[in-house]
Structure 1
Amino acid sequence: MTRSKAVIPKEWVTHKTKIPKGTIPSSFTMTAAELRAREINSWSEKLFQDNVISLATGFGYILIYHTHDSRRSQPGFPDLVLVNPRTKRVLFRELKSAKGVISKEQQQWADGLRKAGADHAFWYPKDWVSERIHNDLRGAANA
C-alpha cells in the first residue's frame, strides 16, 4: 500500500495554532503492527540480544554463549552461539542493529562457518518483526 505525502496547512505549522481535533491526515496514522515494527527497529543491540536470548531459551536453547567483551575476542566472531541439545541444533548468529553494518571480519567468519556446514546468519530487528528469528529457532523450513 502506497501512502501519499500529507499536506500540512501553513497555519498549523506555527506554534500559536493547535492542530484541531480529528483533523490529523490519515497518512499520519499507523497501524498497531507498524507502530510495533517501528519500536522493534529502534532496539539497541543490547536490548535486541536480551530479547533473542529470552526467546531462544523458550525454544529450548539451554547452552547460549555470548561474548561479554568483544575487545578481547577474535574479531568478527558471532555474537551468539545457541545450542539446543533436544533438537540437536547449533546456531551461530551475529546480531545487528537496524542500521548495523557487517564488518569484513564478521563476513569472513560467516563465510567460513557456512562453508564448514554450520548454521550461521545475521539477524536484524526486522527479522524479529517478520518472525524469521522465531522460525530459525524453531527450525522451520525456509527459515
Structure 2
Amino acid sequence: MTERLSTDEYRQRRLAMMTETDFLRAVVTEAHRNGWRLHHQRPCRTKDGWASAIIGDKGFPDMCLVRGGKVMFWELKSEKGRVSEDQQRWIDQLGSVAMVLRPSDWPYIEKALR
C-alpha cells in the first residue's frame, strides 16, 4: 500500500534527504531567479588532495550574495551537516550578515531572496 503524504509532509521529507550539493544548486537557482549576484568557490581535487585557488583563512562561508547594496554570507549544510570551528569563527566575525542554513530553512531562504 502506498503511503499518502500531504504536500507539507512530502516537502519536509524531500528537504531532509537533500544533499549539500543539491541544496547549493537550489539556492543558486532561487538567487538568480530573484536577481542576486553570488559567489561560490568550488574546491578542486589535486594529486595532493582538495585545494582552492583562494588565499585566506579556512572556513569562509559557502556563498556570498549581493543585490542593491545588501550583502549576505551563507554557509549551507545538509540537515545533518556539521559546522566546523573555522566556519563558526567566520560566521561569528561576520555578524548579522552571516548565517548557517539548511534545507529545512527553505521558507526563510525564499523570503530572504525576494
Regarding TM over 0.5, the answer is: yes
Amino acid at match of 1:112: Q
Q: How many residues align?
A: 105
Q: Does 1:39 align with 2:22?
A: no
Q: Following the alignment from structure 1 to structure 2, what is the Cα–Cα distance between the partners of residues 49 and 127?
A: 13
Query: Structure 2 counterpart of 1:52, which letter?
Result: V
Partner of 2:61: 78
Deviation at 1:32, TM superposition (A): 2.2
Q: Which runs of 5+ in 1 are unaligned?
A: 1-20, 139-143
Of residues 30, 35, 41, the one that matches 1:67 is 41
Moved over 2 A (4+): 70-74
- CA deviation map 1:90-139 (0-9, x unaligned): 1100000010111101110000011xxx51111100001xx11011223x
1:123 pairs with 74, 93, 101, which one? 101
When the two chains are superposed, the root-mean-square deviation of aligned CA atoms in Å is 1.8
- Measured after TM superposition, the shift of residue 71 of structure 1 is 3.5
User: Greater strand share, 1 or 2?
Assistant: 2
Q: Does 1:106 align with 2:84?
A: no
Name the residue aligned to 2:47: none
Aligned residue number for residue 134 of structure 1: 110
Aligned amino acid, residue 106 of structure 1 = Q
Unpaired segments of 5 or more residues in structure 2? 44-49
Which residue matches 1:53? 28
Q: Secondary structure at the match of 1:112?
A: helix
